[in-house]
Amino acid sequence: MIDNIHKWLVLRLTLLWLVLSLMVGSIVQYLGHTSLDNHVVNMAQTETSHYTADFDAYLKSPSPQALAVFNQAIQSLIEKDNLIVVEFYGADSKKVTEAVKSSAEEIEKRLPKHGDEFSNASGIICEKLTLGQDIFMQVFVPILDSAGDKQGYLEGIYHAPGDIVARNKNEILLALALVVVIIFVITLALYPLIIRLNHKLLNYSHILALTNIGVLKVLGSAIAKLDSDTNIHNFRVALYSFRIGEKLHLSHTAMQGLIKGAFLHDVGKIAITDAILLKPDKLTYEEFETMKTHVSHGKEILCSYDWLKDANDVVCYHHEKFNGSGYLSGLKGEDIPLNARIFAVVDVFDALTSRRPYKEPFSLETSMGIIRKDRCKHFDPKIADLFLEHAEALYAEICSENEPLLHSKLEECIKICF
């Protein structure tokens, strides 16, 4: 589980808020600009329609006098509206006349020029132009007769009113701010909900973990009783392992695998006959070869359950030796998994200090002497030295305690790791 759910959640909700704000904000901005463009197009089309009637009348009866009257009319119109340039063309695409707003002559010179790309168009066309903060619309309007034939056309440059553009920008900014605030409020509302759901998940996970551990302890204890007169061996080696893991500052994940492995280290012995497991005398070569197969049997048992796979290091490699003379894989040195190197020391120490069908318990001094003698051979010297440094205190805490007290201590360790 995540150690600091609050920090993790705040970071991700903040990231979610920023991403959603950018995405939705971009959509709002796009829709706002589209709305502005459509509004300007409608206004441009409306204002150019004022000119089409006069131009249509001129085309029906063209003359110098009519053109002079028309020029006067369009110049008067253009000074009053938002068009800055209007050009009129006949059916042959030749310019008839034009009008330029006196106050916009300099602006008109700075706008991009156009050719005759619209001359063959049959419908109204509008193209957006920008100059700094100003928005312009290039408008093409065909002049059709009653039969639908094109008599001419006009092209105009429409300057969008500044107040309308400013109002639209303010509306877009307001909409963006509103979107950001709404998403923030929704994200903020998700925080306690997710925390609550996480607490429920943690509780369910803890219950499940305790259930799994309960099954683990029952199974481990059942296996321990196959070659021992008590299941307390598993409690002791699990506690020894936990204490050494603490000294080595193992992560909770590594400690979980170590504790599981401690309970199930001999699970493969379920496949070994009692005649070999409980034999009070030294095993023959053939019997010992059979005994060694409990490692491979254990591996086969664990591989069918994902929750137990992290116990694999201990189950499969706790009989490896630091000098490479162990079984089954013959691993050497730090090629042996750390959890297996830890468990190898505590398992042998507990076997030495415990009563077994084939031996009486050795004293603390004798057991420590054997561990010390086999450092660099059987045991990782660093782990052996660390264990020997604390062996007396660990022996006093664990070895002589009864099963209920050891069980209680182990429960506290399990609460820390699971």
Where in the sequence numbering do the catalytic residues fall?
A: 269
Give me the residue label for tokens 């800055």. 84
d(CA 5, CA 66): 83
3-state secondary structure of 157: strand
In this structure, the number of other CB atoms found within 10 A of the CB of residue 98 comes to 17
Here the tokens at position 4 are 């600091």
Cis-peptide into 328, omega within 30 deg? yes
CB 160 within 8 A of CB 43: yes
CB proximity list for 9: less than 8 A, separation 6 or greater: 191, 194, 195, 198
Nearest to 134 by CA among 100, 113, 111, 103: 111
Could you tell me where the DSSP H helices lie in 129-280?
162-224, 232-247, 252-264, 274-277
Side chain identity at 184, as an amino acid letter?
Answer: F
Categorise residue 88: left if φ over 0, alpha if ψ from -120 to 50, beta otherwise: beta
Measured over all CA atoms, what is the biggest interatomic distance in the chain, rounded to whole angstroms?
135
